[in-house]
Amino acid sequence: MSLKLMLKPHERLIIGGAVVRNGGKTAELHVENTVPILRGKEILSQESADSPCKRIYLAIQLMYIDEKNLSDYHAIYWELVREVLAAAPSTTGIIDRINELVLDGTYYQALKKTKELLRYEEELLSHARESLQHV
């Protein structure tokens, strides 16, 4: 059975490492084999990876879509994880689960779990900004 994707006009996605952008009309695609797919809202650009946890997301995204450079992305990932855990030990539970998914090679699931980490990071940063305003 194929995966049916409905693309909005000008929507972007990655299919098996190729960036695809839809034209000016809604399109329906059927992907008939197993291949990494990320919809536009799931794609993080290098320029947008402006926080430690976003860089973790980007590293996992690259693992998912660029398997031939997996060892490079794993090295980057583990270094980022060490830095985040040192700076915010309260992330340990979420990061442990992400680590399990990365080690299992279930990168799409790891990306989904990393969104939880991104929300937590934003919460921490928000609290820090509020604290600075009261100083």
Cβ neighbours around 44 below 10 Å, total: 20
Question: pLDDT tens digits for 39-82?
Answer: 999 999 999 999 999 999 999 999 999 989 999 999 999 999 99
Number of structural domains found in the chain: 2
Q: Is 47 within the bounds of a domain?
A: no
Count of C-beta atoms within a 10 Å radius of residue 23: 10
Say whether both 20 and 82 belong to one domain: no
Same domain (yes/no): 20, 74: no
DSSP state of 129: H
Whole-model pTM?
Answer: 0.90
| Residues spanned by the domain of 20 | 3-42
- Asked, for residue 95, whether it belongs to a domain, the answer is yes
Residues 77 and 126 in one domain: yes
Residue-wise pLDDT tens digits, 112-135:
999 999 999 999 888 877 777 766
